[in-house]
Chains A and B, each alone.
Chain A
Amino acid sequence: MSFGTILFQLSKGLLVSVEIFVLTLVFSLPLGFIVAFGRMSKNPIIRTITKVYISIMRGTPLMLQLLVVYFGPNLLFGIRIGENYRFIAVIIAFSINYAAYFAEIYRSGIESMPVGQYEAAKMLGYNKAQTFFLIILPQVIKRILPSVTNEIITLVKDTSLSFAIAQAEMFTTAKQISAAQTSIMPLMAAGVFYYIFNAIVAWGMERVEKAFSYYR
């Protein structure tokens, strides 16, 4: 297998990694808000359920969660799973796991807001939705961006965990080629790809942070 072919195979795998990355963010970023609100709910039942959920998601390995999501339906309920469930399982497992982390970041951001901002909004007649979306949320986003960036960079590397259920993304591909060719090179090349991927993500997030730097 020529170097060019290897790079081509890895690139195909990279596309799947990017897909996992993007889809996970699309689902987990909003889902995190729902979990965060559940965690801050006045209702003790909702609060406890979300607390347990977060603690399980953070307290057990993501790889294990991935295996449970993928094999669980069949082993627990005897549901026959098709080949296309593999990718879906990856997205589900990653989304519910990252939602828990994002939820805690959102919560810390929301709870760090000074109560004076809510009071000022109330005095000016903003309703609750306006207060949250116009006054609180933009400031929360600015505050939590560095933590979110951290999670997103971790996610880029975590996509490689899909290897555990043989999802053909970049890491799985690299490992297969490496084993077939008895060469370390494909793994090194994959490492470079991950590094570049993250450099781009970090650059993008820096731009977003800059966009929020017009005020302090």
Chain B
Amino acid sequence: MKLLEMNHVQKTFDDLEVIKDISLSVEKGEVVSVIGPSGSGKSTLLRCAVMLEKMESGDLIYEGRYAARDVNGKSAYADKNELKEIRGIFGLVFQNFNLFPHYSVLKNITDSLIKVDKLSKKEANERAMELLKQLGLEDKADAYPYQLSGGQQQRVSIARALAKNPDILFFDEPTSALDPELTVEVLKVIKELAAKHMTMIIVTHEMQFAREVSDRIIFMEDGVIKGQGTPEEMFNSEDSRIREFIGKLS
């Protein structure tokens, strides 16, 4: 089953065409890594997918539901209520965590469950503690984000996204703000999620990680998909540009 479909997506910032006619689809349980040089448009593509940016043209479809439909070369977005429901299908983990500094770790996770998803406080707390336990952070429930290391903060933000029970989880360079040691602990969590067949789309610069965790790697450059395939296909690509890029970073 296709969880996500993007058809002929195009996005410009002030006349600069950042994404040029990209189409992709992601199957349930698939782990897709998106790699490419800075400015290739990979983060913008992800931001279009999670609707933090509006596409100029193209379709955006989650589980068969149109979040945006291309009408005469312009993306027409669905109404507010439909978008609200569609937003519940996916979660996003940010590069710089974006935890709420004034909330404790526990409240970061539970607050939206209670106020948005209308869970009882008890249910929300149980769900949050269960996740914190899985991620080895149960003793940090009452801590505030500033008291945590970057790796711990990122794991909390993964827990916060997972608590919403998304069908797809997006990662926007989840380890780019972390030093190598902390990177390992975050990547370990993502690997564990992959082992549980969580559907994930990961924008990353970690080539070895992408190789180990992904079912498919997408290489983007200049706003287009230059190549995609299994990690083995990509690491042994006949395209010299892809080989060169992967080689430089791994």
Number of interface residues of A (CB under 8 A): 19
Task: Considering the complex, give the chain A residue whose CB is closest to the CB of B109.
Answer: A124
Q: How far is the CB of A145 from chain B (nearest CB, A)?
A: 13
Contact: B146 with A215, CB < 8 Å?
Answer: yes
Q: Which residues from 85 to 137 on chain A have a C-beta closer than 8 Å to any C-beta of chain B?
A: 114, 116-117, 119-120, 122-126, 130, 134-135
| Residues A119 and B146 in contact, CB atoms below 8 Å apart | no
CB of B116 within 8 Å of the partner chain: yes
Q: How far is the CB of A68 from chain B (nearest CB, A)?
A: 42
Choose, from B3-11, B16-24, B71-79, B88-96, the stretch at the interface: B88-96
Chain A positions within 8 Å of B101 at CB level: 139, 215-216
Interface residues of B in 183-197 (CB under 8 A from A): none
Establish whether residues A139 and B117, one from each chain, have CB atoms under 8 Å apart when the complex forms: no
Contact of B84 with A by CB under 8 A: yes
A44 contacts partner chain B, Cβ-Cβ < 8 Å: no
Residues of B within 8 A of A119 (CB): 52, 94, 98
Whether B112 and A126, one on each chain, are in contact in the complex, defined by CB atoms closer than 8 angstroms, is yes
Give A147 to B94 CA distance when docked, in angstroms.
Answer: 31
* Among candidates A123, A135, A214, A215, residue contacting B92 with C-beta atoms closer than 8 Å: A123
When A130-B115, A215-B102 are in contact, do A124 and B164 touch as well, CB less than 8 Å?
yes
Closest Cβ of chain B to A152, distance in Å, is 23
Return the contact of A125 from the options B87, B98, B100 (Cβ within 8 A).
B87
With a cutoff of 8 Å between Cβ atoms, the chain B residues found around residue A47 in the complex are none
Shortest B4–chain A CB gap in Å is: 16
**Per-residue A-contact encoding for B43-74, CB less than 8 Å = 1, 0 else:** 00000001010000000000000000000000
Within 8 A of A (CB), among B144-187: 144-146, 160-161, 164
Q: Shortest beta-carbon distance, B220 to chain A, in Å?
A: 21
CB nearest to A125 among chain B residues = B116
Contact of B117 with A214 in the complex, beta carbons under 8 Å: no
Q: Which of A117, A125, A142, A214 contacts B84 (CB 8 A)?
A: A125
Whether the Cβ atoms of A216 and B146 lie closer than 8 Å is: yes
In whole angstroms, what is the CA distance A117 to B52 when docked? 12
Do B102 and A116 touch (CB < 8 A)?
no
**Within the complex, what minimum Cβ distance (angstroms) separates A110 from chain B?**
15
Q: Are B144 and A124 in contact (CB under 8 A)?
A: no
Q: How far is the CA of A119 from the CA of B97 in the complex (A)?
A: 11
Do residues B96 and A134 form an inter-chain contact, with CB atoms below 8 A?
A: no
CB < 8 Å neighbour of B112 from A124, A138, A216: A124
User: Which of A126, A130, A139, A215 contacts B144, CB < 8 Å?
Assistant: A215
Rank and list the top 9 A-B pairs by shortest CB-CB distance, nearest first.
A120-B98, A124-B112, A116-B98, A125-B116, A216-B146, A215-B144, A123-B92, A138-B102, A215-B101
12 additional A-B residue pairs with CB within 8 Å, beyond A125-B117, A142-B102, A214-B144: A116-B96, A117-B100, A119-B94, A120-B98, A120-B99, A122-B87, A123-B92, A125-B164, A126-B112, A130-B116, A139-B101, A215-B144
23 pairs of residues in contact across A and B, judged by CB atoms under 8 Å: A116-B98, A117-B100, A119-B98, A120-B94, A120-B99, A123-B52, A123-B91, A123-B92, A123-B161, A125-B112, A125-B116, A125-B164, A126-B115, A134-B111, A134-B115, A135-B100, A138-B102, A139-B101, A139-B102, A215-B101, A215-B102, A215-B146, A216-B101
